Chains A and B, each alone.
Chain A
Amino acid sequence: MPTAESSAHGRAPSPLGMAVDCRAVSFSYEEARSPICALRQVSFTLRPGGSLALLGASGSGKSTLLAVLRGLDETEAGVVLLDGMEPGGAAYEALRRQVGLVFQVPELQLFAMTARDDVAFGPRCLGWEEPAVGDAVEEAMTLAGLPPSEFAERHPYALSGGEQRRLALAGVLAMRPRLLLLDEPFVSLDPVTRRELVAILIRLRQRGVTLMLATHDIDLAWELCDELLLLEQGRVLAAGPWGFDAASARPLAGARLKEPFLVQLWRRLGRDPASAPRSAAEAAEALA
């Protein structure tokens, strides 16, 4: 999925996934009496095509971090390197536009008269030519599990809750993000819709898109992500690949989280937790 923008600017085609290098980023919200510190010296790296779960209690700074990565909020201190590039300059802004951010309850943002127009909003804002927009919409809707032949002309508000959520996701995918940020994507979805969304995210990861998702669901985080970033009151408690010793269990407990169910199961079975399966299907295979 080469991006239209990079080819338009005549740069060499980069690998699909974007690399993120977040260095000592701080951010605080201005309030009437005193500023509220939302991020304090947050540092982490994510390789191209990597997947990272952003965990932490409500108010720990997950949403703020995603907004900062997308450039909706400017950092107060520290820098975010995208593909190793420092902020400032048109090339960095172009990279920022390749960061897709899916908001919590994104169906709030639907507004167009047809699903097709809504998905086309982003690409049109980017100034793409109409044929390219059409292609992007087609591809994004298919990827999000909403075949255009069936859904393109439907009114967004006539869709079911799960379909609206996927339509909003398609609206972001149509901009062909190389880094996809999702804020609590599984909130208020029924189990079936949740599995559909998981399947979509696995497909995106297989394509090489860098993924980062904020969630409270550690089992889905375990299934989808290779790495985790644990925040508490804006500070990093733990960052990097999943750990399985006592030292890595402590920060999890501090964030009121338990180890993923399948890791616990592997422990009880006396197996190596590091080789625990990621999904029910993998577990069945391993146990068979």
Chain B
Amino acid sequence: MKATIAQYYPGDSPLHRLDPRAKFVAVSAIAIALFVRDSFASLAVFAAAVAVGCMISGIPARWFWRALRPLLWLVALTFLAQVVVAPGEPFFSVWFFDLSWRGLELAGFLSVRLAVLVLAGALLTLTTPPLALTDGLAALGRPLRRLRVPTDELALMVTIALRFIPTLIMELDTIMRAQRARGACFRSGGPVRRAKALVPVLIPLFVSSFRRADELALAMEARCYTPGVARTRLHPLHLGWADGALVAAAGAVIAVALLV
């Protein structure tokens, strides 16, 4: 079993080496700008920019495909909804589906937009280790501390949560195997029976998670963790000329896309 959230693909491409803050700003700016204009020309500019990013990252295409796959049903649903409700002269009718060129056009447009959005996000998480990402978010959120938002603590919480996802998955696997060795079956029966079969797995998982959380809190206290106190970092973030270039490039892409 593998964690599918916030997957990171280790590498040494220019994108991997960029500062997480710059990547986050560039990707969120593009994600917002994607929704400003409804024209195929601007969508094509964004798609081209993201495609270039994917190529620079040097990550195999199947990893991007893996990021897109869970969204296929959403794309399909969007497509279907557009086909049903879209305006325009139908050229083909089945039951209550009225297929019109205008509807197809709209459905295609929205699906591609969604795919570009997901790919841009995947580009960020695939080229940035989760820890760097939360560090970057904490740094970006620093001004919020003025408003007493505990940004560092929130970042640490996210970091810990991400850190323990693989641990929990491994533990889940162990417990499921242990119960299977005792004759449990998780794959047969109706939905109610399957849900009931999970009880022997979930209870031990919760119990050990609570125990682990307790121990982690104690260990952090023993190492003098105090919430609210400014901490130094082993690897401080550095903004370089490349990071400026990335943000400038993102700005240029957005400007071109909104003007064409």
Residues of A within 8 A of B (CB): 32, 67, 70, 72, 97, 100-101, 103, 106, 108-112, 121-123, 125-126, 157, 171-172, 175
Known: A32-B2, A103-B177, A108-B175. A171 touches B204 (CB 8 A): no
Inter-subunit contact A103/B200 (CB<8 Å): no
Interface string of B66-109 (1 = CB under 8 A from A): 00000000000000000000000000000000000000000000
In the bound assembly, the distance between CA atoms of A111 and B183 in angstroms comes to: 15
Given known contacts A100-B181, A111-B201, what 6 new A-B pairs fall within 8 Å (CB)? A32-B2, A70-B181, A103-B177, A111-B200, A112-B200, A122-B183
- Nearest A residue to B7 by beta-carbon distance? A32
Number of interface residues of B (CB under 8 A): 20
Interface string of B119-162 (1 = CB under 8 A from A): 00000000000000000000000000000000000000000000
Known: A121-B184, A122-B183. A111 touches B204 (CB 8 A): yes
In the bound assembly, the distance between CA atoms of A108 and B202 in angstroms comes to: 11
Known: A109-B200, A110-B204, A157-B207. A103 touches B178 (CB 8 A): yes
Residue numbers in B under 8 Å from A112 (CB-CB): 200
- Nearest A residue to B171 by beta-carbon distance? A108
B182 within 8 A of A: yes
Inter-subunit contact A72/B204 (CB<8 Å): no
Residues of B within 8 A of A (CB): 2, 171, 174-175, 177-185, 199-201, 203-204, 207-208
Known: A32-B2, A121-B200. A109 touches B183 (CB 8 A): no
* Chain B nearest Cβ from A109, distance in angstroms: 4
Inter-subunit contact B178/A106 (CB<8 Å): yes
Residue numbers in A under 8 Å from B178 (CB-CB): 101, 103, 106, 108-109
20 A-B pairs with C-beta separation under 8 A: A32-B2, A67-B177, A70-B181, A72-B181, A97-B183, A100-B181, A103-B177, A106-B178, A108-B178, A108-B208, A111-B201, A112-B200, A121-B182, A121-B200, A125-B183, A125-B184, A157-B207, A171-B182, A175-B182, A175-B183
Residue numbers in A under 8 Å from B179 (CB-CB): 109, 121
Known: A125-B185, A157-B207. A109 touches B175 (CB 8 A): yes
- Nearest A residue to B181 by beta-carbon distance? A101
In the bound assembly, the distance between CA atoms of A141 and B250 in angstroms comes to: 68
In the bound assembly, the distance between CA atoms of A100 and B180 in angstroms comes to: 11
Residue numbers in B under 8 Å from A157 (CB-CB): 207
Q: Please indicate which of the listed interface residues A100, A101, A123, A126 has the most CB atoms of chain B within 10 Å of its own CB.
A: A101
